[in-house]
Amino acid sequence: KAGVTQTPRYLIKTRGQQVTLSCSPISGHRSVSWYQQTPGQGLQFLFEYFSETQRNKGNFPGRFSGRQFSNSRSEMNVSTLELGDSALYLCASSFITDLGGEQYFGPGTRLTVT
Amino acid sequence: TQLLEQSPQFLSIQEGENLTVYCNSSSVFSSLQWYRQEPGEGPVLLVTVVTGGEVKKLKRLTFQFGDARKDSSLHITAAQPGDTGLYLCAGALYGTSYGKLTFGQGTILTVHP
């Protein structure tokens, strides 16, 4: 089975711009979660999508948004970029049931805001 | 305040030594996962523990979940340079979705030949 793929791998943007990151989950996985990783804060949960619905949202401003399509692919968008948004953005997919589920991560998108 | 306290933050040891990494919380987790991450890559899942008191072994790595499901440990026997990396514990808080993981701060392990 192919793993989680994320595009692009690297991105450089300017303050005030917006950016869209893409994630393709493992085939059969309907849950997609997004995380932000920075040296200072570590890995922080952004949001989770399941069957095209946002199921959970982390403590991030409204500039961070996402969506999931019917094929489970997901995108996240950050508007009005700030320098502090520079980070590794990780997507994880899982086959979740009420009994549990394991998250498998993609390689991440490295976003640099200048 | 960190929900999941991971220690130590840094560990530098010689090849052949043993080590233990700890993850502690005052909250109960439905499950807890350990990941290893290389620079510039995503975390790779090592193991998932779900039952209080559970012990899982993966070659030289031993994972334990506390009886109360509030803490976990990772023990590496006879560490090798190939074990070098960032180790992360992450859990799904009891009552929340398994798709929302809370991460520890991570342990940077360096094994010198």
Note the pLDDT tens digit of each residue in B51-86.
999 999 999 999 999 999 999 999 999 999 999 999
Q: Give me the pLDDT at residue B90, please.
A: 96
Q: Which amino acid is at B52?
A: G
- For an interface test with A, which of B36, B46, B101, B108 has the most A Cβ atoms less than 10 Å from its Cβ? B101
Interval A35-92: pLDDT, tens: 999 998 999 999 999 999 999 999 999 999 999 999 999 999 999 999 999 999 999 9
Residue A99: its pLDDT value, please?
A: 65
> Any chain B CB within 8 A of the CB of A103?
yes
Residue B29 sits at the chain A interface (C-beta within 8 Å): no
Distance from CA of B99 to the nearest CA of A (A): 6
What single letter denotes the amino acid at residue B38? E
Interatomic CA distance for residues B50 and A36, integer angstroms? 25
- Inform me whether the pLDDT recorded for B40 exceeds 80: yes
- Reported as type and span, the H/E element at residue B103 is strand B102-103
Q: Do B96 and A56 make contact, defined as CB atoms within 8 angstroms? A: yes
What Rg do the C-alpha atoms of chain A give, in angstroms?
Answer: 13
Taking the alpha carbons at both ends of chain B, their separation in whole angstroms is: 36
- B103:A33 CB<8 A: no
